[in-house]
Structure 1
C-alpha cells in the first residue's frame, strides 16, 4: 500500500508541474474527458477511501528546484518557432520571479491556483517588442471513470504585461493568454495505472484488487486534500484445480 501511495503522490506532483511548465501540448483548448471533481460531501468519508494531503510548500520547493537546477521553460508565442527571429524571437520564457511576482502554486481559499512570471519578446512589423509580466491561473480537476484517470485544465485568467507600447499590448496580451492556455490542455495528472491497486497476498493465494469508484478534492488549511474511494475485491493468483469426479 505504501508503494501505491508514493506513486500517487509523485504522479500528482509531476502532473501539476507538467501543467504549469509543459512546453509542448495541443494546438487548441480541449476540455478534458470525465466529470469535474467535486468537494467531499457532508458526513463521514466512505470506508474504502485513501486521503492524500499535499502542502503548498511542497509544490513550491519542487518548483524552486526546477528553476535552480534546470533550464527555464521557453515556448513560442503564437505557436511559432521559439528559436527563430534572431535576437528577438517571438517567445515567452517562464522565470522564477519577475514583475513583483514569484512563480509558484498558491492555494487561494478553495482553489488550486498558480502565478506565472515571465519575460518575452514579439517580433512584429513595427519592430521588437520586449516585455515582462505575470499571469494568475487556476487548475480545474476532472475524473474520467472509464480510464480511471484524473485530468487537469489550466485556465489563464488574465495577463499583466509591463514595458509594452499600448498599441502593441492590444495584440500581445491576448496572444500570450492564448499561447499559455492552448499549449498545455488537457493534462493527464494521474493515470489508471497509478491509481489502481493490485496487491498479491501469497498466504491467501489471491490478489487484493481495487478500482477507483470516486475522486473528491478540497483545498483546506494550505494543502490540497485528495480523497480516492475504491471498489475492492479479491482474485485468485492461480487457477483452482478442477474438482475430482464423483466416485
Structure 2
C-alpha cells in the first residue's frame, strides 16, 4: 500500500512538473454561510464594540454637532462632566436595527455589508449624544502574498441615523470609519496556507503548496475565490 501511494505521489509530482508545478483551488462561500457565522457570534458573544473616543479631537465638527435632544439637556443642566462619566464613547455593531440586519451580501459584483449599530459620544461643551441606525459598507479584497492570505478592508459608504432626517450622518460615518480602520482593518478573510497540505516523498522531504495568486469572483449570492498554488520543495 505504501509503495502504491508513493507511486501515485510521484506520478502527481511528474504531472505537476509537466504543467509548470502549478494548480488552482476554488473556494466558494455563500450568504447562508455568513448568516450562520454571524448568528453564532451574536448567540455566544457580546456585540462587537469599538471605541470612538480617539477620533474626537481630530474632527472639529464634533465640537458643534448635535443629533440628539439629550445633548442639549446635559448642557442646559450644566452637567457635562456627568455626561462624560456615563458616556463610554463607543459604537456597537448589532445583529439588527429597525429591520436591517448586519450581514454579508453579494450583489452586482460587489461585497456589501449592511451594519446595524448604536453608540454614543461626548463632544466638547455638549455632553453625551446617543445615536443609532444602520450603515452601508463595502468590503474590498486584496491578496497579501507575503502573508499568504486574502485580506479585506471595510469601507463605509453611507450612514443612516434613526429619526434625524440625515442630520449628523456624515459625522457618524467618519467616526465609524475611523473606528473600523483602527480596530478592524485589514480583516483576514482566508489564511491560504491553512488550506494547503504537504506531500511526503520517498526521500524524506516534502512538497508543499504556496499561494501565488488569489482572485475573488463575486457571484449572485456567493463568492468564489480561485487560489493559484505553486508546488515547492518543503
TM-score when normalising by structure 2: 0.68
Please report how far the alpha carbon of residue 220 of structure 1 lies from its aligned counterpart in structure 2 after TM superposition. 1.3
* RMSD of aligned Cα (Å): 2.9
CA distance, structure 1, for counterparts of residue 176 and residue 232 of structure 2: 49
* 1:99 and 1:132 in contact (8 A); partners too: no
Please report how far the alpha carbon of residue 114 of structure 1 lies from its aligned counterpart in structure 2 after TM superposition. 0.8
Q: Does 1:60 align with 2:60?
A: no
Higher Rg of the two aligned structures: 2
Aligned position for 1:174 = 174
CA distance, structure 2, for counterparts of residue 155 and residue 196 of structure 1: 30
Aligned position for 2:210 = 211
Aligned position for 2:138 = 138
* 1:130 and 1:164 in contact (8 A); partners too: no
| Cα deviation code 1:154-206 (max 9, x no counterpart) | 111121112459775564443233323443222333346425432325x6744
Q: Secondary structure at the match of 2:228?
A: strand
Structure 1 counterpart of 2:49, from 63, 68, 74: 74
Aligned position for 2:80 = none
Q: Does 1:111 align with 2:110?
A: yes
CA distance, structure 2, for counterparts of residue 86 and residue 232 of structure 1: 58
Once structures 1 and 2 are overlaid, which stretch shifts more, 93-102 or 178-187?
Answer: 178-187
Please report how far the alpha carbon of residue 108 of structure 1 lies from its aligned counterpart in structure 2 after TM superposition. 1.4
* 1:49 and 1:228 in contact (8 A); partners too: yes
CA distance, structure 2, for counterparts of residue 136 and residue 165 of structure 1: 16
**If each structure's helix is expressed as a fraction of its own residues, which one has the higher value?**
2
* 2:160 and 2:169 in contact (8 A); partners too: no
User: Residues 178, 163 of structure 1: CA spacing in aligned structure 2 closer, same or farther, 3 A cutoff?
Assistant: farther
User: Residues 108, 91 of structure 1: CA spacing in aligned structure 2 closer, same or farther, 3 A cutoff?
Assistant: same
- Structure 2 unaligned blocks of 5 or more: 1-20, 56-82
CA distance, structure 2, for counterparts of residue 86 and residue 139 of structure 1: 35
* 1:130 and 1:163 in contact (8 A); partners too: no
| Cα deviation code 1:12-69 (max 9, x no counterpart) | xxxxxxxxxxxxxxxxxxxxxxxxxxxxxxxxxx971111111110111110111122
| Cα deviation code 1:81-122 (max 9, x no counterpart) | xxx944332111111100331111111121122111001112
User: Residues 234, 122 of structure 1: CA spacing in aligned structure 2 closer, same or farther, 3 A cutoff?
Assistant: closer
Q: Aligned pairs, how many?
A: 187
Paired residues for 1:86-165 under 5 Å: 86-124=85-123, 125-164=125-164
Aligned position for 1:40 = none
